[in-house]
Amino acid sequence: MPGPFALFKWQAVLRDWQVFAEGFGMTILVSVLALVLALVLGILFGMMGTAQTKPLRYLNRIYVEFIQNTPLVIQIFFLYNGLPYLGVMLPVFWVGMLGIGVYHGAYVAEVVRAGILSTPKGQFEAAYAQGFSYWGAMRYVILPQAKRMAYPPLTNLAVNLIKNTSVMAMVAGGELMYHADSWASSNLYYGPAYIITGILYIALCLPLATYAKYLERRLEVSA
């Protein structure tokens, strides 16, 4: 049977499974590290977004608006091809991790900010009354409550982050999409290649998305 899904093309995918496995591993590694970076940045900037001092709030706005209103593709392209002109040659792995981490950090910041704002003001006042400082109240009273609100959207962000690692394909990033592109464009067995790649992404994202749904449901019950 000829056509894009001919049997021999599927056999070729299975024969070259290591190509896909290598990319899959890289995608997971970049995703995990970028997620950690995004969470750290997001919590930091999210708290700044609700701070009383204006400069901190401005800093939060600059970061969030700048990142959210430019395409990830351009940010990655800048890190990859722009920075070398400024004398900074980041390895492509770092380009991917930093680019994707910083990009999603902005979204995490908004989720964290919303979580903090959704915590009743009385909680702050009660914490102050107990002698907590602003950061102390944040750490021990507000964030633990905000966390519950923020969990479901954060899990969805993690799903998006995983999918967005595919932009690294553009700069020869060595992750799943890059290997799929490379393999499929050399022998033109693109049919099975992209289906397998899609299934691998589903294998990563679907459990997370399902977990997000579960968290959301639990939130409704407890709220």
Partner 1 sequence: MKKIITLVLSLIMGLSLVFAAGCGSDPAPTASSGSGDAPDIKAVKDHGVLKIGVKVDVPKFGFKDPNTGKVDGMEIDLARALAKKILGDESKIEVQPVTAKTRGPLLDNGEVDFVIATFTITEERKQSYNFSDPYFEDGVALMVKKDSGITDLAGLNGKKIGVAQSATSKQALMDEIKKQNLKIDILEFGTYPEIKTALDSGRIDCFSVDGAILAGYLDDTTVILPARYSPQLYGVAAKKGNEGLTKVANDTIADMKSSGELDKILTKWGLK
What percentage of the chain's residues is helix, strand, coil (to nearest 5)? 85, 0, 15
Burial class (CB in 10 A: 0-12, 13-18, 19+), 99: buried
Determine, following the binding rule CB under 8 A, whether residue 210 of this chain makes contact with partner 1.
yes
Determine, following the binding rule CB under 8 A, whether residue 20 of this chain makes contact with partner 1.
no
Instruction: List Cα–Cα distances, 173 to 68, 88, 93, 180, in angstroms.
Output: 22, 17, 7, 12
x/- track of binding to partner 1 for residues 109-148 (CB under 8 A): ----------------------------------------
x/- track of binding to partner 1 for residues 187-206 (CB under 8 A): xxxxx---x----------x
Among positions 36, 40, 73, 89, the unique one binding partner 1 when judged by CB under 8 A: 89
Q: Which is nearer to partner 1, 103 or 189 (CB)?
A: 189
Determine, following the binding rule CB under 8 A, whether residue 18 of this chain makes contact with partner 1.
no
How far apart CA 70 and CA 66 sit, in angstroms, is 7
* Amino acid at residue number 206: L
Give the residue among 184, 154, 156, 159 at the shortest CA–CA distance from 23: 184
Provide the minimum distance between the beta carbon of 180 and partner 1 in the complex, in angstroms, as a whole number. Answer: 10
Q: Tell me which residues in 169-188 interact with partner 1 (CB under 8 A).
A: 169-172, 178, 181-182, 184-188
Burial class (CB in 10 A: 0-12, 13-18, 19+), 62: exposed
Q: Which is nearer to partner 1, 6 or 117 (CB)?
A: 6
Which residue stretch of 40-48, 63-71, 111-119, 165-173 sits at the interface with partner 1 (rule: CB under 8 A)? 165-173
